[in-house]
Amino acid sequence: MEERLQKIISFSGITSRRKAEEMIIEGRVTVNGKVAVIGMKADLDKDHIKIDGKLMNPRVVHERIYIKFNKPDEVVTTLTDPEGRATVADFIGGIGQRVYPVGRLDYHTEGLLILTNDGALAHDILHPEKKIPKTYHVKVKGDISDADLDKLRRGVRLEDGVTAPAEIKRLRSKDTVSNTWLEMTIYEGKKRQIRRMFTYVKHPVAKLKRVSINGVSLGNLKPGQWVYLTREEIRTLFKEVGMKPNGRAQHVP
């Protein structure tokens, strides 16, 4: 079936749809030996599509990989790092295909990351209009008041705009009275959003861990460990973003 080139490339997990468009404009994509242009369509199963001279493999593109990973502290949410710091790629091995993190976690933020070669799913999970829930366990300094929690629930004004309403509840903890443990669910992804929100109410974050994305939970994964998503977890992800699976998932438990 013919589809727009940028969609085919993003589905492959090579890059986002926007980056795929840039690659086409730069003349890096060819179809059956001809330089591609924006708006061109192709059939991956019939046409020879090359990126930087390398032929796209239909079998690889149609086989989807979905992984969840428990990112440790002091790990960069990228596949390479010019500063030589530990990256997600240092922990993900033996897959046989290139997968990419869906979104980011800060260097000092731990917890759940989803990695995939399904560019379309990644795009929809990150799209602000989808309002995908992401849940965190947050340790903040001091005994935060209910009034301050209500401010955060309603939304606070940061330098890049007002935050969307959030869900927050207190967690029981054996920590000292000088800190407060909370569970917080947000539906957007502003840069360092949770840390900036608590700084706004003068209760800086001491520890931050993501425990759930869109119904997929971290579970019992230890820091640095990863597993393939189950069929039920994959169905949950696709249902929440309003998509249908495209291609066959590999290594599904």
Catalytic residue check, 118: no
Query: Can you read off the two tokens belonging to residue 158?
Result: 């940061």
How many Å apart are CA 123 and CA 233, to the nearest integer?
Answer: 18
Residue type, 122: A
**Residue of 106, 118, 148, 160 with catalytic role:** 106
Say which residues have a Cβ less than 8 Å from residue 198's Cβ, sequence separation at least 6: 138, 140, 144, 152, 204, 205
Pairing of the two strands 205-213 and 110-116: parallel
Four-residue CA torsion sign, 107, 196, 176, 154 = negative
Q: Which of 185, 176, 249, 236 is nearest to 206 (CA)?
A: 176
How distant, in Å, are the alpha carbons of 70, 117, 134 from that of 114? 9, 10, 12
How many Å apart are CA 28 and CA 127, to the nearest integer?
Answer: 26
For 103, the 3-state DSSP assignment is: coil
Q: Which of 59, 55, 90 is nearest to 75 (CA)?
A: 90
Residue positions annotated with a catalytic role? 106
